[in-house]
Amino acid sequence: MTNARDEMSSDLPGLWDQHCCLPLTPDADVRDLLRFLEIGASFVSVNVGYAPNDAGSTLAILESFRRQLAADQRFVLAGSAADVVTARESGRLAVAFDLEDANPLDGRLDMVERYHRLGVRTLVPTYNYRNAAGSGCMDADDQGLTAYGRAMVREMNRVGMVADGSHSSIRTGLDLCEVSTGPVIYSHTCMRSVWEHERNITDEQARACAATGGVIGITGVGIFLGPNDISLDALLRHVEYAVELVGPDHVGIGTDYPFDIGDFNREFTENADLFPESYTRWGPIRFVEPETLSPLAAVLADRGYPDEAITGILGGNFMRVARQAWNPAAGAATHA
């Protein structure tokens, strides 16, 4: 991967955010994402469905988001890694999509390819609790991936969709790394050795992820960083621990920033069964704002990180995964 890594230094100087959230309704305004463009970001992955969403509601959200993005010249629908480079060079923001849970598949493996054609590039098999694909991070009985979950990962590998262990159990995350023939990521998580929370990953999970060529996206969720701590220092504690553990080539950013906090709080209330006491003990959840990340490169440089490592953490590492795992022939994400 040395050649690809050399390319990254010149073609991806901006931030790559591997997971953020708009309201999960077709009338959500995608222009909120422009806050990332204003801080020099090159790419964001936007969630379009999670555990409560079936295929019908997810497809409706996707159709609306895609239509809005295509109509606004400040965005590029990213079907390939090359599209991200094109967006950056033209001062636009590249956008792809992700799913948090297998439920939006409606139990149909053929939906993996359909979602891929519509721009979904990562999928989390389980959202906190066990489903048909595997166990979640809040399950007391961790049984890992099911046979269906393993078949789903193989289909994801085939079409060019990246397996994401965020929200999944320890065993499910390790199974993803065992089954997948491509890189596995944790798009938005933190390090459990720094702050104990079920949503954070163990050192074993981090090492297994890195061994696949994957990347750990450190998130900006206050209760995963610390006691609802949304300081840049809190985020950097997790970044630096992960870098020390698995090396700078396997660390990135996935903010999990929700652009409508009110909408998030409604989801929190309406789906309380998905959010246990470890989510609520600190009161309303706080999030690192996109603008907080503006000085990240300078702060890493002040802490002695070389340019190559900074470029990788800001986005080059996730770009490497995209180049390796996304199907470059799948231009349908920009044309379907």
pLDDT tens for the chain, 336 residues long, are 333 333 334 444 589 999 999 999 999 999 999 999 999 999 999 999 999 999 999 999 999 999 999 999 999 999 999 999 999 999 999 999 999 999 999 999 999 999 999 999 999 999 999 999 999 999 999 999 999 999 999 999 999 999 999 999 999 999 999 999 999 999 999 999 999 999 999 999 999 999 999 999 999 999 999 999 999 999 999 999 999 999 999 999 999 999 987 777 777 777 777 778 888 888 889 999 999 999 999 999 999 999 999 999 999 999 999 999 997 454 333 333
Domain 2-335 in CATH 3.20.20.140? The answer is yes
The two three-digit tokens of residue 190, written as one number: 């933190």
Check: CB of residue 96 under 8 Å from CB of residue 115.
Answer: no
